[in-house]
């Protein structure tokens, strides 16, 4: 049975919460299978509005209002700068010192806000907060956790916004260090109620299915791997028999189009992520977006890890399916920045050991191969830059003790299943999630069988038993 049909049976809406500067249209998947009957077509208007700070001006820190493309904002100890030390997307960005910027207007129907941010110049690290008001600015409550500003380049954090008729936002910080804020993006449905700099909107037709919601899937372009057959993300099997059913919240199947995963709600992270890699996936159409975002498509009752959930923990937001494995489009790259594709990973493990392995596998593709990859984790307790920890995000996200990957490498071609033999090259790597790790990934080569023993998963279950047994016992030389 096709993976996306499993999602249809669950009657769930899976929507990518990406936060790109340009407006984006979601692909729809009408319910024409799985035993469901069609119904009347409804129309949902969605919007994406970005305040770029390229219009309007404010040259001094003195408090005052400034009219921007989205409306009037109040700046207190903040200005719009374009000096060499200002980190910006375009010509201008907010430079915020000891104060705040706040909207003087409300926006309707917003479900997500994304903010690009960085340290100003050589200033020291600092902390800032996002606040929301549902009473016209009379009172504010903090949205999400504090953001520790340590980046010297623009990064994006996204915040899920609970349903409210109207809401406005404020960004505040204390201390004398400065930060830059740029490209604040609001995403939502219906009429946003903004008349200054009115946004483009997208109309999405959603096929109704009686009392059940249609499966809208994720934002998936034609550059995604096929659902089944050659180059599909689960061609060689579903390691844990994951299903998209609420009775399996800790082995919940999610098909993001560009990769497939088993998600663990109790741990707040994937058990494993599986994807196919070939030359079409790394065409560099898209830059690295850095638009980390919570995934709004999780079932009701699941905990949604937000983009700042690991903030201050000493652990990286470690990709399973890497950003650089999906550069064929902005949709593809954005899909890798969903927090459901992340684990808390020790910085040296993520930025050196795993980065080196990821680069090596992409080199195999450049040399004329295609690769089927599964990455996962197990255990509890790792050591990041702040020391040992077993959880982050207030206990909602498990810190794994081990991070593993299995890669099956074939010469580029067709009929992949039948081309696998007892001598097909398979690389299996299992690393401790610690910051003192060796940067040489070959030090951690193991066998597929050893990873199966540690995890209880059945890898390559779709292969004939004699071939499966042979490749799972082989230990790669790591040339």
Q: What is the pLDDT of residues 184-210, one digit of tens each?
A: 999 888 889 885 443 333 333 322 222
What pLDDT is attached to residue 156? 86
For domain 49-189, the question of CATH label 2.60.120.260 is answered with: yes
Give, as one character, the DSSP assignment of residue 209: B
Q: How far apart are the first and last CA of the chain?
A: 38
What pLDDT is attached to residue 24? 35
Distance, CA of 277 to CA of 296 (rounded, Å): 26
Region 94-113: what's the mean pLDDT?
A: 94
| Residue 10 pLDDT class (50, 70, 90 cuts) | very low
| Residue 476 pLDDT class (50, 70, 90 cuts) | very high
What pLDDT is attached to residue 16? 33
State pLDDT tens for residues 356-394.
999 999 999 999 999 999 999 999 999 999 999 999 999
What pLDDT is attached to residue 464? 96
State pLDDT tens for residues 11-64.
333 333 333 333 333 333 332 233 333 344 445 578 889 999 998 899 999 999
190-193, long-range: CB < 8 A, 24+ apart: 190/45, 190/47, 190/108, 190/109, 191/45, 191/108, 191/109, 192/47, 192/49, 192/107, 192/108, 192/109, 192/110, 193/106, 193/107, 193/108, 193/166
Give, as one character, the DSSP assignment of residue 185: E
Inter-CA distances, 260 with 56, 115, 186, 204, 340, Å: 44, 27, 28, 25, 11
What pLDDT is attached to residue 199? 36
Judged by average pLDDT, the poorest of 123-137, 164-178, 201-215 is: 201-215
State pLDDT tens for residues 396-455.
999 999 999 999 999 999 999 999 999 999 999 999 999 999 999 999 999 999 999 999
Six token digits for residue 457 = 């998963």
Average pLDDT taken over every residue of the chain = 86
Buried b / exposed e along 244-279 (16+ C-beta atoms within 10 A): beeebeebbbbbbbbbbbbbbbebbbbbbbbbbbbe
Output the pTM of the full model: 0.65
Apex 313 CA angle, 308 and 317, nearest 5: 55
**Catalytically annotated residue among 117, 276, 319, 396:** 319
Nearest to 288 by CA among 225, 340, 332, 256: 332
- Do 204 and 3 contact (CB within 8 A), yes or no? no
Q: Please, where in the chain does CATH 2.60.120.260 lie? A: 49-189
Q: Please, where in the chain does CATH 3.40.570.10 lie? A: 217-473
What pLDDT is attached to residue 157? 87
Query: Looking at the predicted structure, is the pLDDT value of residue 154 above 70?
Result: yes
117 is known as an active-site residue: no
Buried b / exposed e along 394-433 (16+ C-beta atoms within 10 A): eebbbbbbbbbbbbbbbeeeeebeeebeeebbbbbbbbbb
CATH among 3.90.600.10, 3.40.570.10, 3.30.70.890, 3.10.450.50 for 217-473: 3.40.570.10
């Amino acid at each position: 049975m096709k993976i996306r049909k499993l999602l249809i049976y669950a009657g769930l809406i899976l929507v990518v919460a990406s936060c790109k500067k340009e407006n984006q249209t979601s692909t729809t998947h009408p319910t024409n299978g799985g035993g469901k009957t069609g119904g009347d077509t409804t129309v949902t208007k969605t919007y994406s509005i970005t305040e770029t700070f390229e219009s309007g001006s404010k040259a001094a820190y003195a408090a005052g209002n400034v009219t921007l493309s989205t409306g009037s904002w109040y700046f207190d100890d903040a200005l719009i700068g374009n000096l060499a030390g200002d980190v910006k997307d375009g010509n201008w960005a907010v430079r915020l010192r000891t104060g705040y910027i706040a909207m003087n207007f409300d926006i309707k129907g917003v479900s997500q806000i994304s903010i690009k941010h960085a340290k100003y110049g050589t200033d020291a690290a600092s902390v800032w907060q996002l606040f929301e008001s549902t009473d016209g600015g009379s009172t504010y409550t903090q949205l999400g956790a504090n953001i520790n500003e340590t980046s010297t380049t623009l990064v994006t954090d996204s915040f899920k916004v609970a349903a409210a008729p109207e809401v406005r936002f404020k960004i505040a910080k204390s201390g004398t260090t400065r930060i830059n804020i740029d490209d604040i993006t609001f995403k939502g449905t219906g009429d946003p109620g903004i008349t200054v700099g009115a946004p483009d909107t997208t109309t999405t037709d959603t096929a109704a299915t009686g009392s059940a919601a249609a499966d809208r899937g994720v934002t998936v372009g034609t550059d995604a791997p096929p659902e089944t057959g050659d180059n599909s993300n689960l061609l060689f099997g579903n390691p844990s028999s994951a299903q998209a059913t609420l009775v399996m919240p800790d082995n919940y199947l999610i098909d993001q189009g560009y990769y497939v995963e088993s998600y663990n709600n109790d741990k707040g992270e994937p058990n494993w992520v599986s994807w196919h890699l070939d030359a079409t996936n790394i065409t560099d159409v898209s830059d690295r977006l850095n638009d980390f975002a919570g995934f709004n498509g999780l079932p009701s009752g699941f905990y949604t890890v937000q983009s700042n959930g690991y903030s201050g923990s000493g652990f990286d937001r470690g990709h399973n399916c890497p950003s650089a494995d999906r550069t064929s489009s902005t949709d593809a790259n954005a899909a890798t920045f969903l927090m459901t594709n992340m684990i808390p990973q020790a910085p040296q493990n993520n930025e050196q050991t795993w980065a080196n392995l990821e680069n090596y596998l992409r080199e195999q593709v450049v040399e004329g191969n295609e690769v089927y990859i599964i990455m996962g984790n197990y255990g509890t307790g790792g050591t990041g830059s702040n020391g040992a920890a077993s959880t982050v995000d207030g206990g909602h996200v498990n810190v794994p003790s081990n991070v593993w990957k299995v890669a099956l490498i074939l010469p580029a071609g067709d009929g992949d299943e039948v081309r696998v033999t007892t001598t097909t090259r398979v690389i299996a790597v299992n690393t401790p999630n610690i910051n003192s790790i060796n940067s040489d990934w070959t030090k951690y080569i193991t066998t597929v069988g050893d990873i199966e023993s540690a995890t209880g998963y059945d890898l390559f279950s779709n292969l004939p038993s004699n071939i499966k047994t042979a490749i799972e016992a082989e230990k790669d030389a790591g040339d």
